[in-house]
Amino acid sequence: MTRIFIILSRYLIVLLCGLFAFVVAKSLSKGNECTKVLVTLQKIFIYLIHLILFAIIYLSTEDINVIFFYCFQILFFTVYSIVLPKIYGVTNKTLLNLVTFMEMVSFAILSRLSYTRAVKQFVICIVVSVATLVIPKIMEKSKNMRNYSYIYGVLGIGALGLVYIIGSVTYGAKLSIDLYIISIQPSEFVKISFIMFLSGILYKKKNIKGVLISGIFAAIHVILLVLSNDLGTALILCVVYLFLVYMATGQRLYLLGGLVAGSAASVVAYKLFYHVQTRVEAWVNPWPIIDGKGYQITQSLFAIGTGGLFGAGLFQGLPNDIPVVEQDFIFSALCEELGVFFGIFLILLSLSVFLVIIRISFNCKDEFYKLTTAALGVAYGFQIFLTVGGAIKLIPSTGVTYPLISYGGSSLFATLIVIAIVQGVYINEKKAN
């Protein structure tokens, strides 16, 4: 009976994801205003998907703790969806529902891969979600956040410098700082401070002076990341810098020059760093080195191919054969057990998050927050591209996580801060109007 339910659920989950994506698309077509009916339909679909996923997990494990875990999640998501609009009177409900969907999928796939890590991720989610409730209020009350741009820049450089000096090495890269019982990955938060620094400089100084000052700080950030072998984050910061300079100045010459310089820097990085050479070699042709450098990407491709269009079903695949599957290659695990169609819908829904953020940015009249929100959206969208592209061998693996889906406390913490900032911009803009 369990086997039959798992088989049928493969098709039902894809159908519900498709319907959810369709309703989200309808919501986006109506602009920032979303009707109550569409919001309700979004919630129905995501809660049904969540229910089916955890029903499969329980039937496969017969662990009563799974039921309690599911109930706690339902309680949290329900209370949070009531409290946030209650506090501020208005929120972007489509963005809220999209984030809820991502978190539900994350807890489900992590429960399948490592139940302990799923619970830990959920606890972090609760704590951070409650803590970030105050961010829109802080943004409303404090009008001086734009004046601390150099502080943001110095803090970012200091954090990355600290990682370079005392950071722990993970898979060849210095990423985190161990603090007794917890490990923090500062680069996740530096993405935010970096964006706020750039926005604070460029909204005031859109001339060559502003570009040079921001460029010097950006170069120091990137150099420290490259020295730590955190190439994924370095690439994200480069893209964000080029985007913000172009958005603030409108000068295509800066964009073209940045692309040329970035291409040259990539060649230099390949020549200088063995870590980069290994990633590129595994990307170009992993099959002759399948038992060594190419093992991770080949296992990812095997997983996606084995799952097919509708997936093997939860607990029916072998996603744990992929190294670091909960972080770098969680997209492959999802495709193996829930199907390529599910993966496509997940990408489309992630794109919807990006579009919501960009739309909020373009509707914002405050130049500082317009730049900040747009850059946060670009960083989010480009990180999705890097994660998915690395998993399907479109580009070399960069080691970045899938925001809101992958395991990692720092990644989740930073992403929820980003979402809170975006909601804050939306809320304050609505109140101002």
pLDDT digits (tens, 9 = 90+) for 231-280: 889 999 999 999 999 998 888 888 888 888 888 888 887 787 777 788 88
Cα→Cα distances 413→184, 186, 409, Å? 10, 11, 6
- Please give the full DSSP string across 68-79, using - where no structure is assigned: HHHHHHHHHHHH
For the chain, the C-alpha Rg in angstroms (whole number) is 21
pLDDT digits (tens, 9 = 90+) for 385-398: 999 999 998 988 88
Q: Is the pLDDT of residue 377 over 90?
A: yes
How far is residue 381's CA from residue 386's CA, in Å, rounded to a whole number?
9
How far is residue 121's CA from residue 106's CA, in Å, rounded to a whole number?
9
Q: Say how many CA atoms lie within 13 Å of 99 toward its Cβ.
A: 23
Residue 182's DSSP bridge partners are: 179
Q: Which residues does 66 contact at the CB level (< 8 Å), separation at least 6?
A: 54, 57, 58, 111, 115
Select from 433, 340, 409 the least CA-distant residue to 129: 409
pLDDT of residue 1: 67
Read off the tokens for 265: 């820097």
**Out of 253-262, 339-348, 371-380, which region has the weakest mean confidence (pLDDT)?**
253-262
**Confidence band of 105 (pLDDT split at 50, 70, 90):** very high
Which is more confidently placed, 41 or 5? Answer: 41
Q: DSSP letter at 167?
A: P
**Confidence band of 144 (pLDDT split at 50, 70, 90):** confident
Instruction: Give me the mean pLDDT over the 347-359 stretch.
Output: 96
Q: Which amino acid is at 382?
A: F
Instruction: Give me the mean pLDDT over the 137-162 stretch.
Output: 89
pLDDT of residue 292: 80
Instruction: Give me the mean pLDDT over the 350-364 stretch.
Output: 95
Read off the tokens for 113: 């891969």
pLDDT digits (tens, 9 = 90+) for 190-233: 999 999 999 999 988 777 888 889 999 999 999 999 888 888 89
**Out of 72-81, 243-252, 407-416, which region has the weakest mean confidence (pLDDT)?**
243-252
Q: Is the pLDDT of residue 111 over 70?
A: yes
Instruction: Give me the mean pLDDT over the 360-376 stretch.
Output: 93
Q: Kindly list the domain boundaries of the chain, sorted by start residue.
A: 2-142+286-432, 145-272
- Please give the full DSSP string across 137-163, using - where no structure is assigned: HHHHH-S-GGGGHHHHHHHHHHHHHHH
Question: What's the whole-model pTM score?
Answer: 0.93
CB atoms within 10 A of CB 365: 9
Q: Is the pLDDT of residue 2 over 80?
A: no
Percent of the chain having pLDDT more than 90? 58
Q: Is the pLDDT of residue 64 over 90?
A: yes
By CB neighbour count within 10 A (0-12 exposed, 13-18 middle, 19+ buried), where does 77 fall? buried
Which is more confidently placed, 256 or 30? Answer: 256
**Out of 122-136, 281-295, 323-337, 417-431, which region has the weakest mean confidence (pLDDT)?**
281-295
